[in-house]
Amino acid sequence: MVSWTTNRQRDASPIWVTPVTTTTVYVDYDGIPTTGPNTDPAGNRYDVSFAVQALQSRKIFSPGPAGFYDHAGWRVYTVDNTRIALAWGQDGASSSAGQPTELDLGTTVLPFPSLVAYNP
């Protein structure tokens, strides 16, 4: 009999972000710009931000809680029009050995620009 156990005490598959130029990357965990503890220069509410150097690969981990490391619905953005590339995938440095259900998956994150509308 095989016992399948997984270390669910950390986020083994973070979001990876790389900006074209040095910028601040903002993360809003629920994707709702009217909620969150902080306010960006554009007036949107967000959860955390990071200063990221040009072409640096920065990992962004889910805050949890343990066992529920979910990135669904996150909004990752800049406010200075800096283009960023995002991917989601396993981080070998944050993974555990012998974790059969800690899947080695990954994908690019497609950009969805915000709709800007106004009444002239």
Minimal distance, residue 35 CB to Ca ion, in Å: 4
Q: How far is the CB of 77 from Ca ion (least distance, A)?
A: 11
Q: What is the DSSP letter of 16?
A: E
- Residue closer to Ca ion by CB (options 27, 52) is 27
Shortest separation between residue 66's beta carbon and Ca ion, angstroms: 22
Which residue, 48 or 87, has its beta carbon nearer to Ca ion? 48
Binding positions for Ca ion, rule: CB under 5 A: 28, 30, 32, 35-36
Considering the complex, state which of residue 35 and residue 53 has its C-beta at the smaller distance from Ca ion.
35
CA distance 38 to 66: 23
Name the β-bridge partners of 88.
Answer: 15, 107
Q: Which of 101, 76, 71, 74 is nearest to 89 (CA)?
A: 71
By beta-carbon proximity to Ca ion, the closer residue of 30 and 91 is 30
To Ca ion, the closest distance from the beta carbon of 30 in angstroms equals 4
User: In which order are the strands placed within the sheet that holds 84-89?
Assistant: 58-60, 15-19, 84-89, 106-109
What is the spatial distance between Cα 32 and Cα 44, in angstroms, rounded to a whole number? Answer: 9
